[in-house]
Structure 1
Amino acid sequence: MEHPSPHDALSRFHTYEAPPAEFDPQQADARQLRRHGFPRRPDAKTEPQLMRLWQRAFRRAPRLHMVKAELEIDPIMSGRDRQRPSKADFSPSGWGGVVVSTGAQGFSPYEPANTVFAEWVVPAIFPVAGDPSTSLTVGFWVGLDGSDPTSYELLQAGTAATITGSSVNYWAWTEWYTSQYKDPAVQVTNFAIQPGDQVSFLVCAPEPGQGFVSMMNYRTQQATSVGITARPGITSVGTRAEWIVEGISADLPDFSPAAFSNISAGTQHHSFNLSTGGSITNIGGSGGKSLTQSYIASPTTALVLWEGSA
């Protein structure tokens, strides 16, 4: 299938009008929250973990400024190989982080994951010794799916950074990629970030054919949300949740430790984190060399360290 045009790709993304100045998300009803792109209010009885995170976010951002997202096609994240075929030299094919299978949670009956969340401090990145002028990119994200090579899809959002010499660019992005349609990623151009900012990202599939992404920067007190409509015949499968550092370029730039904290994921009726474990994965280089070292530091924290270049 041909790659979609930028206009066609962007038409699947929906933005939300900014709320009035006096808007209080903790007092607003569900309809008002949806209208302005706020994450839904979790049920305190059935979703206590999510409710704590929801309340905590607004306590930490008392001057929250919810803005209407401005979107552009992201040429860097769109140009990467999402399906990560193995490469003989460097393998940005690898992910560094933790993957949790929904099936391993033992839910009866089985329910697919439809929510994944984490906070992290935007890592600083640095050039690789001996190759200071080459553009190098790394991404940090949370996502759902990405496990079936025959029908690959991945709903995800996060931050990324490119370093070229002494110049570094940091940005936020999201996408719902499928091997069938190969839609590009989009950059949220009016969501400013810099290294050291603590950010949060929520990725949801509230309906099988609908995606929802919400992001917040605690330093700037800014937040925004994006809705995504799936292509015909595409639905969120929800087989797993991921907290990932991804190598994008031909080598992996040095980055300060990436700590995904307050990790949470969920299905329609259940919440889970890393308490039942997860699959630890690392970015691999030539000769089987690991370029990252990933750890489960606690049930709600995953740590990814840079170990070296390819």
Structure 2
Amino acid sequence: MQIPIIASALLCANMVLAAPGTAMRRQRAADRIAERRLGRSSNTIQRVDSELGVTTKNGTSHVEYSSNWAGAVLIGSGYKTVTGTFVVPTPKAPSGGSSSTTYSASAWVGIDGDTCETAILQTGVDFTVQGSSVSYDAWYEWYPDYAYDFSGIPISAGDTITVTVTASSKSAGTAVVENVTTGKSVTHSFSGESDALCQTNAEWIVEDFESGGSLVSFADFGSIEFTGASVNGGTGTSGATIIDIEQSGKVLTDCSASGSTVSCSYSG
């Protein structure tokens, strides 16, 4: 009974020797999928009692700080559709980071999660880097459930992505990710969700998301600009609260909003 086992082991060894790059890529992909299945999730905004205080950008938008969200949040009522378009960045390890550590960040649009903490309808793209390996995942989520990956929509650095969420009710809606560059688009429909939306927050966010119950190591994402930012078909982010990420007393992002554009840069 040992012969099949030995033969199988030799076959696997030969495959690795014949194509080490392919085997390594497959293993990295398998590890990444396994890690996400442990519970990759977004979270509601986790505000920081910053000693920096509340300042002002662009003369109108207040700046607040959180450990996980950066971007712009509108607070109001009746938010049913939120959309935005961004160019996929090339993430890298932050200054002083390790090539053996995995770093990630995410760009998404959503409804709720700030003043309303019962649910978030959201969709976006994760960026992950370890050493010279960079990967991207498009996903959808109805928080507090964890995120699920879309399939059938390859994403590369430099692609233009449009993300849209639509709440048809407080317990149903859709999440759409469109790769404008390739023409590919994917949609997920939610219905009968037990955790109800309030439809009082609309947001365009760069996030340090969670995996396995704790924040992942935050990647240097360069810069992300949401253009065409709109709510319920109207343009503009007037009155939005600007959020920057602060961790361990250090501000890691620099975000602003003007008209229908929300911009965030890594500053850590």
Q: Secondary structure at the match of 2:251?
A: coil
- CA drift at 1:258: 0.1
Q: 1:138 aligns with which of 98, 105, 108?
A: 105
Q: 2:260 aligns with which of 300, 305, 309?
A: 300
Q: 1:78 aligns with which of 23, 29, 39?
A: 39
Aligned to 1:286: 248
Q: 1:96 aligns with which of 32, 46, 70?
A: 70
- CA drift at 1:145: 0.3
- CA drift at 1:76: 6.6
- CA drift at 1:81: 5.8
Q: Secondary structure at the match of 1:254?
A: coil
Say if 1:219 and 1:155 are closer, same or farther in 2 by CA, change over 3 A: same
Contact 2:83/2:231 (8 A) holds in 1: yes
Say if 1:77 and 1:146 are closer, same or farther in 2 by CA, change over 3 A: farther
Contact 1:73/1:184 (8 A) holds in 2: no
- CA drift at 1:93: 2.8
Q: Deviations over 1:263-297 (max 9, x none)?
A: 1002xxx73521x221000111212x21000011x
Identity of matched residues, %: 29
Q: 1:195 aligns with which of 140, 153, 157?
A: 157
TM normalised by structure 2 equals 0.73
Q: Any residues of structure 2 matched to 1:124-273 within 5 Å, and which?
A: 124-130=90-96, 131-148=98-115, 151-178=117-144, 183-232=145-194, 234-248=195-209, 249-266=215-232, 271-273=234-236
Specify the code of the residue in structure 2 equivalent to 1:136. Y
Give the 4+ runs in structure 1 shifted more than 3 A.
76-81, 83-88
Contact 2:66/2:243 (8 A) holds in 1: no
Q: Secondary structure at the match of 2:182?
A: coil
TM normalised by structure 1 equals 0.64
- CA drift at 1:255: 1.3
Q: Aligned-pair RMSD on alpha carbons?
A: 2.5
Specify the code of the residue in structure 2 equivalent to 1:295. S
In 1: Cα distance, 2:76 partner to 2:46 partner: 24
- CA drift at 1:206: 1.5
In 2: Cα distance, 1:164 partner to 1:87 partner: 28
Say if 1:159 and 1:93 are closer, same or farther in 2 by CA, change over 3 A: same
Q: Which is higher, the Rg of structure 1 or of structure 2?
A: 2
Aligned residues: 215
Structure with more strand by fraction = 2
Which consecutive residues of structure 2, in runs of 5 or more, have no partner in the other structure? Answer: 1-32, 50-64, 210-214
